[in-house]
Structure 1
Amino acid sequence: MTLSSPRAVLWDVGNVIVRWDPRALYAKMFEEPADLDRFLSHVCTLDWHVEHDKGVAFPDNAAPLIARFPEHEAQIRAWDARFPEMLSGPIPETAAVIEALAARDVPQFALTNMPQSKWPAVQAMSPVHFGHFRDAIVSGDEGVIKPDRRIYEIVLERTGLQAADLLFIDDSAANIAAAMDIGFHTHHFTDPAHLRAAVERHGLL
C-alpha cells in the first residue's frame, strides 16, 4: 500500500496522450467494414503487433505473416510504412494537464509499449507536450513490455524515484494492476474528462 503522496507523473502514451487506432489507416484500404474487421482480427492483430513493442523489427515480423496471407502483403507492409496514419493527434484534456503540471514544475515521464522506430513519429504529434518529459521508457528499446514487472523496475532505475513517488496513468487495467502491485499510485484512464480531477486528488495540481 502506498501511503505518501506522489511527486511525479508517469504517463502511458497511446490513447492517453496521443490517439492511436489501426482503423484510422485501414479504413482507407478496405471499402467494406466486414473486410476491415476480418483483417484486424485475423491478419494484423494486436497480438501480432505486440512483438514490435517487444523490439522485433517490422520486416522480421511481417515476413511470416506475408507468407501466410500473401494476398494482404500491401496491407501488412502498410502497418510499418504508414504507421503515422494510425495516429490522430493529442487528447486535449491530457495535453492541458501536462501543461498544468509543467507550470508547477512537477516531474513528468513516459512509459510506453511502442516500437522504438515509431517513437519519433508519435512525439511529432505533440512535440510541445512531450518536451516537458524528463525521460521516456520505450518498450521497444528495453525488450520488455507492460505489464511485465521488469519494465516498471526500469522506470525506477531510470528516474531514481521510488514507486510511491509516482502517479502512473494508463488506459490498460492489466498495466494498472501490475503497477499497483509494485506500489505506484495509479489512475486508470478511461475518460479524459476525469483526468484532471484524479491528478488533483493526488495533490499534484
Structure 2
Amino acid sequence: MQTSVNTIIFDLGAVLIDWNPRHLYRKIFSSEEEMEIFLRDICTSDWNEVQDEGRTLEAGTSLLVNQFPHHEENIRAYYGRWQEMLGGEIEGTKNILRQLKESGQYKLYALTNWSDETFPVAWELYPSLHWFDGIVVSGREKLRKPAAAFYELLLNRYQVNAANALFIDDNARNVKAAREFGIDSILFENPYQLKIELENRSINI
C-alpha cells in the first residue's frame, strides 16, 4: 500500500546526535555506580528538561548547587563541560536522513527538547542539522515534548497535516503523545530498526 506520508519529523538527541551525559561523567566518576547515582538523584533528566523548556543554564545550575553544595564541581560540569556529552552524529541515522533529503519526496523537520543556550554548539558542529527544512527547539519556544502544544506549533508553523506526517523519537512518552495527537510515530531504537520501520510504511531508502 502506498504511504501518504509527505513529512518526516525527527527528534535529535539519541536519534541523530549522540548526546549522553555519561560521555562526560565517565571521565569524572571512578565507578559506573557513582555516576548513575549522581545522574539519578542530582543532575536528573527532569532537572535538565526544565532548562530545555527555557530556564537558563545559570539558574538551573545555581538551584542544584544550593541544594547539593558538596557536589558543586560535578554539577557545574554539566553545562560547563556540556560539549563533552556529545558523541557525534549517529551515522546510520545520518545516512537515512541524507537519503530522505536526496529523494526530494519529503519535507524534513526536527522537533527537539534542547536548551536554546546549548543548541547553537551542536548547530555549528554537525552538518546534518542543516539538512532539515525547519527545526523547532523547545528552549526557544518555552515549550517541550510531550506537551500537545509543542507538536501543534510545528504543524502550524510549517503547514503540516498530522495525517501525512511521521514522527521519530527515542522516548516512549513523546511517541505516545504524538500518536495521541494523530501523528503516526516510530519509537527509535537504532538506525537498522528505523530503516525497517520506514520500509514497512513504504518509505524506501
**Is TM more than 0.5 here?**
yes
CA shift, 1:4, in A, is: 6.5
- When the two chains are superposed, the root-mean-square deviation of aligned CA atoms in Å is 1.5
1:111-131, CA deviations, whole angstroms, 9 ceiling, x for partnerless residues?
Answer: 00110111122233421x212
Partner of 2:35: 36
Give the distance between the partners of 1:34 and 1:136, measured in 2 at CA. 36
Partner of 1:182: 181
Secondary structure at the residue paired with 1:9?
A: strand
Partner of 1:93: 92
Q: Letter of the aligned partner of 2:59 in structure 1?
A: D
The aligned runs of 1:10-29 (5 Å cut-off) are 10-29=9-28
- TM (norm. structure 1) is 0.93
Conserved in 2, the CA contact under 8 Å of 1:6 and 1:165? yes
Question: Which residues of structure 1 form unaligned runs of 5+?
Answer: none
Partner of 1:65: 64
The aligned runs of 1:43-122 (5 Å cut-off) are 43-105=42-104, 106-122=106-122
CA shift, 1:174, in A, is: 1.2
1:37-95, CA deviations, whole angstroms, 9 ceiling, x for partnerless residues?
Answer: 22111111111111111100011111121012112212111111111111101111101
Secondary structure at the residue paired with 1:203?
A: coil
Structure 1 residues 80-89 or 35-44, which shifts more? 35-44
Partner of 2:148: 149
Secondary structure at the residue paired with 2:117?
A: helix
Q: Percent identity?
A: 34
Partner of 2:7: 8
Give the distance between the partners of 2:65 and 2:80, measured in 1 at CA. 15
**Is 2:140 aligned against 1:161?**
no
Give the distance between the partners of 1:99 and 1:123, measured in 2 at CA. 17
Secondary structure at the residue paired with 2:88?
A: strand
Conserved in 1, the CA contact under 8 Å of 2:175 and 2:185? yes
Q: Letter of the aligned partner of 1:124 in structure 2?
A: E
Conserved in 2, the CA contact under 8 Å of 1:6 and 1:185? no
What is the total number of aligned residue pairs between the two structures? 202
CA shift, 1:202, in A, is: 2.4
Structure 1 residues 101-110 or 31-40, which shifts more? 31-40
Secondary structure at the residue paired with 2:186?
A: strand
Secondary structure at the residue paired with 1:27?
A: helix
Conserved in 2, the CA contact under 8 Å of 1:90 and 1:125? no
Secondary structure at the residue paired with 2:84?
A: helix
| Moved >4 Å (runs of 4+) | none
